[in-house]
Amino acid sequence: MANIADIRTRVAARIHDAAKSLDPAGLTTSADAAIVSALSEFEKVRPCEASQVVSGTGAFKYSLTDSAPVLTGFVDGFSMIKSIVCPYDSTSQEIITLEDEDWRILRLATGLWLWFPAIIPASGTSFLVEFTKRHTASASALTVNAGDYEAIADLAACHALLILANNYVQSIDGAISADAVNRQSKASEYRSMAVQYRKAYEMKMSSGTPTGGVSIITDTDR
């Protein structure tokens, strides 16, 4: 199963921190922090896409933010609902996607609610919600598409190199001029590398890097 190590190894290959300046015990802690920081930037452009089947209760509103929200992972201020299929039956070929005016997200004093102004999902029926949520990067899960691993690694390397640059600047001993000059030079080098990796990330994100399966359209004789 894909996990954060799939990105971490790519970050390590980019920054070549043989001296373990990023972490005395190795790369993991600061590199993972850099990956999480990179993901928080990346997911604003390409959030994690999810879908969830919700059981109708005969009500016209469903909470998105209370202690038991109907959508797992929905984040106030980040997530968006892309579409709603209602009613939803996985055994039926028919897909009925609601129009935008058939549902709303309303903010009340009690939080965010998914509101149906025209229909009521009946008890015993279900509706399918497609929505966006934040990415996960942990030892047990990685929700980024494999086609974006290299872009994420570029951005995470940028963040990690900035951490390295700051470490060198903060450890400068002004009483040792030669050492100070060397560390300033090293910090400048890391910042320059960080700029290059950010450019590499932006290039990958704007070049149409595949994030899913490849598809083609063709004619078929019947």
* pLDDT tens figures, 39-55: 999 999 999 999 999 99
Q: What is the pLDDT of residues 145-191, one digit of tens each?
A: 999 999 999 999 999 999 888 877 765 555 555 455 566 778 888 89
* Six-digit token string for 175: 């009483």
CA distances from 151 to 75, 98, 157, 177 (A): 24, 35, 10, 39
Q: What is the DSSP string of 78-144?
A: T--EEEEESS--TT-S---BPPGGG-EEEEETTEEEEE-SS----TT-EEEEEEEE---BSSS-B-S
Q: Give percent of the chain above pLDDT 70.
A: 82
pTM for the predicted model, two decimal places: 0.79
Residue showing tokens 């016209």: 60
The CA-based diameter of the chain, rounded to the nearest angstrom, is 84
The whole-chain average pLDDT of the chain stands at: 86
